[in-house]
Structure 1
């Protein structure tokens, strides 16, 4: 039987904790707790600064499941390692390797080739410069407009240029959920990269990149199932 957990929900680039609000509500309805911090803005902030903010927001809560979306995957393992999380979940997450700079991730992960190949198949929707085409295509219009209004200057150039600091992936049970309709990170990219970098097979959800806004109940169901 799944017990009550606290889900520490870490947003991606340009986002805020608000991006998780529907998922957090759905998790609370299932008897869990949820923490949705805003990661700091400003050029003085780096990956350690982001992890510090999340650890502070988690406080002395226990039974923790750390979840990182997109760029939040650079922060989530740092947090999981520091707080002794029970589980770590990446949702369409940019899986880092030790010493990798976030700004170099696209080349090292094969991202650019994957986008080019998928864009050739879908008529240029993948990697499109229009956020309504690439990110919010399956998000209700009112939520998409609010998300764009709330966009923030995160991450900093400092964080993007900093080597990922862990010497190895934390010893925390890890799951990965890819989004089948993702036009930012093509599903084929993660079907290859997740086994290579994490040694696991990714799970899949029928949604675009901003799954926390487009399929919040379904995402909460998946996260509930990942709780110890």
Structure 2
């Protein structure tokens, strides 16, 4: 084990309806070469025991990640990687713990800026119909509308928009493990913008996936243009790059960790 790498800590944050399990092809080789890797399940995701109805806010949803950072020893910094909706979780973590984030990495992910409320990129994505949600189920959780709208990707949208470069086995596994989630749009619409002094000061890398049919390349690049980052990298992969092109992603994350951590 490389002692220098052993000091480097990478935290991989999954997207909506997924869980820490989605990183298994990436976490394993990174650990094998000496990195410390965490793949937390966000609330009501993966094997986290809580049901979505008990997760009323985006901060509640992000709590397992925030708890992980809060527990880090003083002086320890992580490379924080957010995939898809996980790109909305890592700015909240960076806003709260900027001193603990060596770099925030957005992997074909939503990326809020500091000039508008956190929901802006999600609102644009939904309102301008950047994704045909197909057989995705979206429905209210309660009659009063106090809880966030629930969301579960169907097999058709998963196969055609998210996993089109993945193996049939990976698609089968993912569909069996997906859980009802939410974009938490309603809650994020009432939050204040993140600050330039905290989240804004954290170094950022955007990894564009050029064959992504979910958050398409054009939308990824629009976010980068509107919220410039320290570096942009590219992988010719679909949205589920960690399953379809794990070797390329592992190399990409190693390069980022060696440069920023």
Alignment TM class, shorter chain as reference: 0.7 to 0.9
After TM superposition, the score normalised by the length of structure 2 is: 0.73
Cα distance in 1 for partners of 2:110, 2:192 equals 12
Matching residue of 2:191:
163
Matching residue of 1:97:
113
Matching residue of 2:163:
136
The structure whose RCO (Cα within 8 Å, separation 6+) is larger is: 1
CA contact (8 A) 1:97 1:164 kept: no
What do residues 180-211 of structure 1 show as CA deviations (whole Å, max 9, x unaligned)?
A: 10001111222232022225552110100011
CA contact (8 A) 2:215 2:239 kept: yes
Specify which of 226, 235, 243 is matched with residue 205 of structure 1: 235
CA contact (8 A) 1:194 1:201 kept: no
Cα distance in 2 for partners of 1:164, 1:177 equals 26
What do residues 146-201 of structure 1 show as CA deviations (whole Å, max 9, x unaligned)?
A: 11111112236454554365233431111000101000111122223202222555
Matching residue of 1:215:
245
Q: Is it true that 1:190 corresponds to 2:207 in the alignment?
A: no
The 1:110–1:193 alpha-carbon spacing in structure 2 relative to 1, beyond 3 Å, is farther
Q: Is it true that 1:17 corresponds to 2:10 in the alignment?
A: no
Matching residue of 1:48:
59
Moved over 6 A (4+): none
The 1:106–1:63 alpha-carbon spacing in structure 2 relative to 1, beyond 3 Å, is closer
Cα distance in 1 for partners of 2:127, 2:107 equals 16
Q: Which structure has the larger Rg?
A: 2
SS of residue in 2 equivalent to 1:21:
helix
Cα distance in 2 for partners of 1:30, 1:51 equals 28
Which stretches in structure 2 are left out of the alignment for 5+ residues?
A: 45-51, 133-154
RMSD of aligned Cα (Å): 2.7
